[in-house]
Amino acid sequence: MHDHPILNHLRSRRPAMIAELKRLVEHESPSHDKPALDALAELLAGRLSELGGAAQVVANPGGGNHVLGRFPGPEENRPALILTHFDTVWPAGTLARMPAREQAGRLFGPGVYDMKASLVMLFGALEYCGRLGFKSPRPVTALATSDEEIGSPSSRSLIEALARDCAYVLVLEPPLADGGLKTARKGVGRFTIEIEGKAAHSGVAPGSGASAILELAHQIMKIHALNDVKAGTTLNVGVVHGGTVSNVVAARAVAQVDVRATMLDSAARIDQALRSLKPAISGTRIKVKGRFSRPPMERTPAIAGLFDRARLIGRGLGIELTEGSTGGGSDGNFTAAIGIPTLDGLGVKGGGAHADDEHIQIDSLPERAALLAALLLNL
Ligand SMILES: [Zn+2]
């Protein structure tokens, strides 16, 4: 790691950053707790305006409010968009058994890694940019949402609308285990296959019924035949229900299917194939519900190009960036799918996301903040 003004400055702010991170972890913020989320949104908006941004709380009547901050830069250039979220998967009261605590160079606590450390890292980067009078090549828009962990139902349209006007998107989700950035993510779909048949006494009048269970069995075979593991397309019928008692021809059967795809066109193909399933047995009907809640984030040439530039900027700080892909989704899936170059996994190194040993590596906090500042000042 080099001696570099950005790194030196952010390392000097390390104690303040740790203190702020502890305060954020101690402000619990489960995805469904509107009062807690709204209070945290106010606090974050206050921080963004202290840092020189035009901050705004975006009201969300159906869930926690979101926070938007706009920072100055040459208006003739399209802005950079930074995505963060402040909801966590942890229920209120988790702190009692998992307090925020420092141990052996790590900071533990609920939501510390996914992704409260990213908020502190964002503040550190913006503070540095502000010191230089926001000399970045473009304005910076920072969005902190309250519903990422539940699939971003209320923030998706806001994220997509903001991204459409931006040059690129930086997502501060946790990195790969080795600190690598995420330049590809699988898309995730959940579908329900409902079969309607016709009940009949299985002993007295079997011919007058139509078995929904037998029909579902046919459909399950067709669905599993759509698997293409090499191409990264996987379908799994994980749950089946159906029938009432053994001597009645089943009138109803249901299957739940999880689908993952690496490419937008394979996601569309699977979506189409599921929607056009045809009954194999006369007298039954098929109803398909569901969709890809997060489209695949493909490693397009534009994303590869953005990563290459980020890698050079990282090298200037003595940070050797790597990249990789992951099966999980994030808000980066939305922005990449509408064609905006997106780099994900820029968050702080650590481990145990959504697990009891959730933690960050404290040394990584000023370093990733320095990397983010350098990206904003150079990309
Ligand atoms: Zn996250």
| pLDDT tens sequence across 181-214 | 999 999 999 999 999 999 999 888 888 999 999 9
> What element of type H or E holds 181?
strand 181-185
**Residues sharing a CB contact under 8 Å with residue 173, sequence separation 6 or more, in sequence order:** 114, 115, 118, 182, 330, 332, 344, 345, 346, 347
Distance 315 CA to ligand 1 centre (A): 26
Q: What percent of the chain has pLDDT over 90?
A: 93
Cα 193 → chain centroid: 26
Distance 277 CA to ligand 1 centre (A): 35
Distance 57 CA to ligand 1 centre (A): 20
Distance 317 CA to ligand 1 centre (A): 26
Match domain 187-294 to its CATH number in 3.40.50.300, 1.20.1090.10, 3.40.50.150, 3.30.70.360.
3.30.70.360
Kindly report the pTM of this predicted structure.
Answer: 0.87
Distance 271 CA to ligand 1 centre (A): 26
Distance 122 CA to ligand 1 centre (A): 14
Distance 283 CA to ligand 1 centre (A): 46
Distance 227 CA to ligand 1 centre (A): 28
Distance 248 CA to ligand 1 centre (A): 47
**Residues sharing a CB contact under 8 Å with residue 195, sequence separation 6 or more, in sequence order:** 212, 213, 215, 216, 219, 242, 252, 253, 254, 279, 284, 285, 286, 287
Beta bridge partners of 324: 182
CATH class of 5-185+297-378: alpha beta
> What element of type H or E holds 375?
helix 364-378
The alpha carbon torsion through 201, 205, 210, 211 (nearest 10 deg) reads 40
One-character DSSP codes across 305-325:
HHHHHHHHHHHHTT----EEE
Are domains 5-185+297-378 and 187-294 of this chain identical in fold? no
Q: Where are the domains of the chain?
A: 5-185+297-378, 187-294
Quick one: pLDDT at residue 202? 87
Measured CA to CA in angstroms, residue 116 lies from 20, 25, 27, 107 at distances of: 10, 7, 10, 11
Distance 114 CA to ligand 1 centre (A): 5
Look over the chain and give the mean of its residue pLDDT values, rounded to a whole number. Answer: 95
Distance 157 CA to ligand 1 centre (A): 18
Distance 205 CA to ligand 1 centre (A): 55
> Is residue 1 predicted with pLDDT exceeding 70?
no
Quick one: pLDDT at residue 339? 95
Quick one: pLDDT at residue 2? 60
What average pLDDT does the segment 253-257 reach? 97
